[in-house]
Structure 1
Amino acid sequence: MRQIIEDMAEHLVKVPGVIGVLLGGSRARGEHRPESDWDLGVYYRGGLDLAALRALAGPEVEVAGPGGWGPWVNGGAWLRVDGIAVDWILRDLDRVEQVWADCREGRYEVGVQAGHPLGFWSPCYAGEVAYGQVLADPTRELTSLRRQTEVYPEPLREQLMAGAWEAEFLVGAATKGAARADSLYVSLCLSRAVGVLVQALFAWDRRWCLNEKGALEVAERLPGLPGDFGPRVRGLLGSQGGTAEQLTATVARARALVEETLVLLRG
Structure 2
Amino acid sequence: MIGEELARRIRAVDGVVAVALGGSRARGEHRPDSDWDLGVYYRGALDVAGLRAVAAAVADEPVELTAPGGWGPWVDGGGWLRVGGAAVDWIYRDLDRVHRVWTDCRAGRYEVGVQAGHPLGFYSHAYAGEVALSRVLADPTGELTALRAATLAYPAALGDALVSGGWEAGFLVDGAAKGAVAGDAAYVAGCLFRAVGVLVQALHGRAGRWLVNEKGMVASAGRLPGAPPGFASRAQALLGAVGRTPEELARTLADARRLVADVLG
TM-score band by shorter chain is over 0.9
With 227-236 and 143-152 compared, the bigger mean Cα shift is at 227-236
Q: In the TM superposition, what is the alpha-carbon distance from 1:258 to its structure 2 partner?
A: 0.6
How far off its partner does 1:231 sit?
Answer: 1.5
Match of 1:133 among 135, 138, 142: 135
Q: CA 1:166–1:82 in structure 2 vs 1: closer, same or farther (change >3 Å)?
A: same
Distance 1:23 1:231 in 2: 31
Equivalent-residue separation in structure 2 for 1:37 and 1:143 (angstroms): 23
Partner of 2:193: 191
Letter in 2 for 1:215: M
Partner in structure 1 of residue 47 of structure 2: 49
1:11 aligns with 2:9: yes
| SS at structure 2 position matched to 1:90 | strand
Contact 1:24 1:133 in 2 (8 A): yes
Rounded to whole Å, the distance in 2 between the matches of 1:8 and 1:201 is 37
Q: Does 1:20 align with 2:18?
A: yes
Structure 1 residues 4 and 188: alpha-carbon distance in aligned structure 2, compared to 1, 3 A threshold: closer
Deviations 1:18-39 (A, max 9, x none): 0000010001000011111111
Give the corresponding residue for 1:151: 153
CA distance in 1, matches of 2:89, 2:192: 32
SS in 2 for 1:4: coil
Partner SS for 1:63:
coil
Confirm whether residue 169 of structure 1 aligns to residue 150 of structure 2.
no
Residues 255 and 4 of structure 1: CA distance in aligned 2, closer, same or farther (over 3 Å): closer
Q: Could you tell me how far apart the structure 1 residues matched to 2:159 and 2:21 are?
A: 25
Aligned match for 1:39, one of 24, 37, 50: 37
The root-mean-square deviation of aligned C-alpha atoms, in Å, is: 1.0
Unaligned runs of 5+ in 1: none
Q: Structure 2: how far apart are the matches of 1:57 and 1:174? A: 47
Q: Unpaired segments of 5 or more residues in structure 2?
A: none
Post-superposition offset of 1:225: 2.0
Encode CA deviations 1:58-115: one digit per residue, 9 max, x unaligned. 1811001100011111111111111110111000000000000110101110000011
Give the whole-Å Cα distance in 2 for the aligned partners of 1:4 and 1:115. 25
**Aligned 8 A contact 1:205 1:222 in 2:** yes
**Residues 207 and 226 in structure 2, CA contact (< 8 A), matched pair in contact too:** no
Q: What's 1:110 paired with?
A: 112
The match for 2:261 is 259
Of the structure 1 ranges 57-66 and 185-194, higher mean CA displacement relative to structure 2 is found in 57-66
Relative to the length of structure 2, the TM-score reads 0.96
Q: CA deviation at 1:5?
A: 1.8
Map residues 32-111 of structure 1 onto 2, 5 A cutoff: 32-58=30-56, 60-111=62-113
Q: Distance in 2 between matches of 1:157 and 1:91?
A: 23
Q: Secondary structure of the residue that 1:77 maps to in structure 2?
A: strand
CA contact (8 A) 2:21 2:135 kept: yes
> Do the aligned partners of 2:108 and 2:158 also contact (CA within 8 Å) in 1?
yes
TM-score by length of structure 1 reads 0.96
Distance 1:60 1:128 in 2: 28
TM-aligned CA deviation for residue 165 of structure 1: 0.1
Do the aligned partners of 1:221 and 1:227 also contact (CA within 8 Å) in 2? no
Distance 1:157 1:225 in 2: 14
- C-alpha deviation, 1:229, in angstroms: 1.2
SS in 1 for 2:2: helix
Deviates more, 1:167-176 or 1:56-65: 56-65
* Letter in structure 1 aligned against 2:254: A
- State the SS of the aligned residue for 2:3: helix
Separation in structure 2 between the aligned mates of residue 155 and residue 139 of structure 1, nearest angstrom:
29
